[in-house]
Structure 1
């Protein structure tokens, strides 16, 4: 019996080894044929895009007037509240008018004396004109009296001019606002001596409604835009490009839409930029001169813009922008593209892709070129007005 049992042991062990080998072969056979990898794709579709550049800049007052005295004297009164709104012609300072009032009185007296002399010589000249006919006076006397009368008329005109000058100086003792706007702090107090055309301004008035927004655009970007407009790659409309949206420092959009006034004709040699000036309404006084803002200026329309999600774009070892696409054979293919501006979470593709191609947006880490995949289409929402950034400027696009 013991001998029979010992003979059965090798048979059992061989049977177990055969069964274990069959199970391993079954597992290997099951792993040898994996299915295609699932990836999310977006089908590229040309879209109509409204392009705009987002440029940094600062606000500036629409008008700035420095108030200075035009006559010498002592400041008697300050008649405004610092930081308040003033109207053109409003009295701001009163200079002591006593000296200038005396000059006006003296000029009036001189004018009255000149007029009296002129009247007397006029009567005498008219009398001599009658007497010369009867030879009662000589013609020489008549000519001299005529000349004296004309001199008296000139003296009257001179006295009138002196009186007008004195009155102007007297009026200048009333320092008024040259423009309407908000006045700043006063630099001179009551009792201070001021002089005509002094270098120190008494105060500064700034008109804040409307307000200028001065921004700088790269000359290279401007040249590229002009080339695109001339070639038809970007459609432009003058009225459309004049609209400017203002974005405040906190990222919120200003409630009023401005308009582009002009573009400077000179490039700044230090920055290589061109100054653009926009004008925007400021009825509530929310904007102040010197504030940092960003201006969205519409530059044109691109009828066949290609936009892909930014997460689908990577760089190769040469620094070139690449995307993974699924070809007609459902295999992965690397495509080198020329990327343009960022528009929100998307990138505009200038070249390298065409409509209908499928770009992989998820599952990139699971695939490599040439691998068969199963593409699952991802829904892409319609994009409204979004903000993005290029290498040198920022951009805005509206996709319809």
Structure 2
């Protein structure tokens, strides 16, 4: 009886083993099926080649307001730090002595005009008398000279009166330009203009505003060589785009234009001096502020945009995972030094057409097989020459850098 039970148990065990052996390959095949993974096809995208340089803001125009006549300051007529218009009164200098000088010159003019009238009458009388031979030619000549002298004295008195009027007007000191008036350099009661034109304040126009910066000459030469070799596409000087990075790291909301680039290299710094112009309607940019300038001087049409999560880094450097024709992943080393929005700008390593993993790339490895599912490539507007919009490659230069 026991032998029959053992045989039955053995038979059941054999059946279970056969069933298990048949099911295991099917389950293993199910788990090893390649997973669907999103990829993008690498496409060349033009990007701007930019250099970041230190710069300093400077007023568009700056006028030092000075006293043009001597006198005592009686009043400050503006609020320090306020915007003023051209011709707005800023200071009042005591006008009393200047008014007295003006009145004196007015009296001198009246006297000279009276003398001229008398000399003119005498000349008319002598002209009639000399024709009748009632007076000598010498007396007539003297009357002519006296009339001319009187006329000259009138002209001199009129000029002196005009000069006195100008000095009287200068007692009211006005702004020579539109701009922002800074703090007063003198107070009421100060004697100004005695022997020299005393500075009273400074007016600065800061909308628009300049930023001055310098680029190493070696960097300029290298860029020109790359353009001549065809590696980069040049941009006309009047179409160079300029961006401003503020001290807090944020980017100023308005783009600027390159207004000046020196034709010579400063022998002391080996730099080329440049200047850009920015609109400043909100007065957010202030003179003297240190900033960084991003100068977009060329276009690289052989770059690729790769999403942030698709670019991986390890001790060997940056790389991406790309799916081959059979779905097997391979690692491709790339060079990517700058972000443009949500994407890295890849300058080396890709040739175009690679299917780059953009989903869960950090959890995959080379040699793994996937089922690629194509996703939309990063959108970017291809920049035309002088109007690069797709991306920016930046190179940073330190202050005073020499080639």
TM-score over 0.5 for the alignment? yes
In structure 2, the partner of 1:75 is: 73
Where does 1:35-50 land on structure 2 (aligned, <5 Å)? Answer: 45-50=43-48
Quote the Cα distance in structure 2 between the aligned partners of 1:293 and 1:381: 35
| Contact preservation (8 Å) 1:326, 1:333 | no
The Cα of 1:292 is off from its aligned counterpart by: 2.5
Quote the Cα distance in structure 1 between the aligned partners of 2:84 and 2:134: 70
Q: Given the superposition, is the C-alpha separation of residues 392 and 379 from structure 1 closer, same or farther in structure 2, using an over 3 Å criterion? A: farther
The Cα of 1:342 is off from its aligned counterpart by: 3.7
In structure 2, the partner of 1:96 is: 94
Quote the Cα distance in structure 1 between the aligned partners of 2:152 and 2:329: 105
Q: Given the superposition, is the C-alpha separation of residues 62 and 73 from structure 1 closer, same or farther in structure 2, using an over 3 Å criterion? A: same
Q: Given the superposition, is the C-alpha separation of residues 375 and 321 from structure 1 closer, same or farther in structure 2, using an over 3 Å criterion? A: same
Q: Given the superposition, is the C-alpha separation of residues 347 and 257 from structure 1 closer, same or farther in structure 2, using an over 3 Å criterion? A: closer
The Cα of 1:41 is off from its aligned counterpart by: 9.8
The C-alpha deviation readout for 1:106-125, integer Å capped at 9, x for no partner, is 11111111111111111111
In structure 2, the partner of 1:222 is: 220
| Contact preservation (8 Å) 2:65, 2:201 | yes
Quote the Cα distance in structure 2 between the aligned partners of 1:199 and 1:145: 46
Where does 1:1-400 land on structure 2 (aligned, <5 Å)? Answer: 45-196=43-194, 198=196, 201-238=199-236, 241-305=239-303, 342-344=338-340, 346=344, 348-349=346-347, 354-356=351-353, 382=378, 389-390=394-395, 392=397
CA-based RMSD of the aligned residues comes to 4.0
Quote the Cα distance in structure 2 between the aligned partners of 1:99 and 1:145: 38
| Contact preservation (8 Å) 1:83, 1:184 | yes
Quote the Cα distance in structure 1 between the aligned partners of 2:152 and 2:229: 72
Quote the Cα distance in structure 2 between the aligned partners of 1:333 and 1:251: 34
Quote the Cα distance in structure 1 between the aligned partners of 2:345 and 2:269: 27
Q: Given the superposition, is the C-alpha separation of residues 278 and 251 from structure 1 closer, same or farther in structure 2, using an over 3 Å criterion? A: same
| Contact preservation (8 Å) 2:63, 2:203 | yes
Scaled by the length of structure 2, the TM-score of the pair is 0.71
Quote the Cα distance in structure 2 between the aligned partners of 1:328 and 1:83: 69
The Cα of 1:188 is off from its aligned counterpart by: 0.9
| Contact preservation (8 Å) 2:306, 2:344 | yes
The Cα of 1:149 is off from its aligned counterpart by: 1.0
Quote the Cα distance in structure 2 between the aligned partners of 1:315 and 1:151: 99
Q: Given the superposition, is the C-alpha separation of residues 98 and 200 from structure 1 closer, same or farther in structure 2, using an over 3 Å criterion? A: closer
The C-alpha deviation readout for 1:122-172, integer Å capped at 9, x for no partner, is 111122112111111111111121111111111111111111111111111
The C-alpha deviation readout for 1:255-274, integer Å capped at 9, x for no partner, is 32322211122323343322
Where do 5+ consecutive residues of structure 2 fail to align? 1-37, 381-389, 399-403
Moved more, 146-155 or 375-384: 375-384
In structure 2, the partner of 1:12 is: none
| Contact preservation (8 Å) 1:312, 1:360 | no
Scaled by the length of structure 1, the TM-score of the pair is 0.72
Quote the Cα distance in structure 2 between the aligned partners of 1:253 and 1:181: 25
The C-alpha deviation readout for 1:275-324, integer Å capped at 9, x for no partner, is 221111111211111222233333232222356799668898xxx99999
